[in-house]
Structure 1
Amino acid sequence: MGVVAKRSTMTFFSDAVSHYCHRVRIVLAEKGVTVDIIDVDPEQLPEEVSELNPYNSLPTLVDRDLALYESKVMMEYLDERFPHPPLLPVYPVARGESRQYIYRIERDWCRLVDEILAGGNQKGLDKARKELRDSLLTIAPIFTEKPFFMSEEFTLVDCCLAPILWRLPQLGVSLPQTRQSKPLIEYMQRLFDRPSFQESLTEKERELRNEASVA
């Protein structure tokens, strides 16, 4: 394995359209971290990524001698490394609950997002879209009680959910304008209006949503 030169600043190797990369970019923006973000084609990864990351995958975060290659680990590392503003609760029980929410987002929703983006037969895609839409509508009422996902404050849970919600038009998932969906739609707008979220967006992500909306 070759020798990788030490970096004086943090570097984030990112796929400009990946929702897993996007969640980390939101955390970086929320924390105001000085970072060199390098957009990489996942089909043509630079040799440096393969030397740093045994899975040769994106995202990859490099902080001097430390290389991280799992998005949830990156988010928690950044929250501990840059404690203000905190993106996880202080108390162990609440932190455990937040981690469990993230786990469920990955099991219930990220799985469907990945399935839709991978393509396949129309019947399977329609089923995945319906399941994602119905599941999101089921949680809509929780946003009548608190402004963020089961919290008064913006957390890592919202960082995981925001990229999925931003990609709904691209995924072919539309939410009805109903009384039931209104709290969820208002929550989405709160997320999208955050300066950190706007800063986190790549040009490709902006174009994806605009193109999907026009289509």
Structure 2
Amino acid sequence: MAVAVNKRSVMTLFCDTTDIYGHQIRLVLAEKGITAEIEFVQANNLPQELLDLNPYGTIPTLIDRDLTLYEPHIAMEYLDERFPHPPLMPVYPIVRANARLAMYRIRKEWYSAYHTIMNDPNSAKANETRKSLQDDLTAVSVMFKETPYFMSEDFTLCDCYFAPLLWRLPLLDITLPKVAEKHYLNYMSRVFERPGFIESLTDDEKKIRAL
């Protein structure tokens, strides 16, 4: 079987302009100041170069020399390990494991809810999921009374998971209750105003909220 070869000399991220997973990776790239080419493509019209390198034909796909990563959370951790400064994962194993569990929950539960709602926003299933996600976000909002970032004093990969979801709440037609909104306001301002977050946004994503 022939093995596809990456002909690019610069790290390249293939993604579209609104995909939440692509936003995650762009946020890590921006926060770490990593030089990379961003190739915006559509999922239904992928270039042959990408199809040759990614056996699943999916985006986002991160290509770095001979390495092709098509699982977003692996790509994010790879970038954090390859470019260790500033670190985006905790140093201590127990804290790091808790961070990984938090990211797993965000991906497993909240991102699943995001996709359910976006796939058919007006369905009964979407309405049920919307209420459940709103309740979950309200329940965890109190954590931001304790720490400035997601379970941490510092900006981490957990924030790179969570912030793109919060940014998209208007798309989901989710309005948080006043008590939860109060807890989130400082967090959202703190994260959304970071130079890295602003840099990570595409023009299409900027339209989701007024900057």
TM bucket (normalised to shorter chain) is over 0.9
Residue of structure 1 equivalent to 2:179: 179
CA 1:3–1:207: 2 relative to 1, 3 Å: same
- Determine what percentage of the aligned residue pairs are the same residue: 49
5+ residue gaps, structure 2, are none
How far apart are the structure 2 equivalents of 1:39 and 1:199? 15
User: For 1:26-47, what per-residue CA distance to the aligned partner results, in whole angstroms no more than 9, with x for missing partners?
Assistant: 0000010000000111111111
Residue of structure 1 equivalent to 2:139: 138
Residue of structure 2 equivalent to 1:93: 94
How far apart are the structure 2 equivalents of 1:133 and 1:179? 12
What is the identity, as a one-letter code, of the residue corresponding to 2:130? R
How far apart are the structure 2 equivalents of 1:101 and 1:33? 25
Residue of structure 1 equivalent to 2:26: 25
What is the identity, as a one-letter code, of the residue corresponding to 2:168? R
- Alignment of structure 1 residues 1-150 onto 2, 5 Å: 1=2, 3-119=4-120, 122-150=123-151
Three-state SS of the structure 2 residue aligned to 1:93 is: helix
User: For 1:100-131, what per-residue CA distance to the aligned partner results, in whole angstroms no more than 9, with x for missing partners?
Assistant: 00001111200100101111652111111111
Residue of structure 1 equivalent to 2:205: 205
How far apart are the structure 2 equivalents of 1:159 and 1:19? 10
What is the identity, as a one-letter code, of the residue corresponding to 2:64? D
How far apart are the structure 1 equivalents of 2:208 and 2:182? 24
Query: 1:185 offset after TM fit, Å?
Result: 2.4
Three-state SS of the structure 2 residue aligned to 1:209 is: coil
Query: 1:188 offset after TM fit, Å?
Result: 1.4
Residues 6 and 53 of structure 2 are in contact (CA less than 8 Å); yes or no, is this contact kept in structure 1? no
| TM-score, length basis structure 1 | 0.93
How far apart are the structure 1 equivalents of 2:52 and 2:129? 36
How far apart are the structure 1 equivalents of 2:170 and 2:150? 21
Residues 170 and 209 of structure 1 are in contact (CA less than 8 Å); yes or no, is this contact kept in structure 2? no
What is the identity, as a one-letter code, of the residue corresponding to 1:162? A
Number of residues of Structure 1 aligned to a counterpart in Structure 2: 210
| TM-score, length basis structure 2 | 0.95
What is the identity, as a one-letter code, of the residue corresponding to 1:109? W
How far apart are the structure 1 equivalents of 2:108 and 2:3? 36
Moved more, 68-77 or 42-51: 42-51
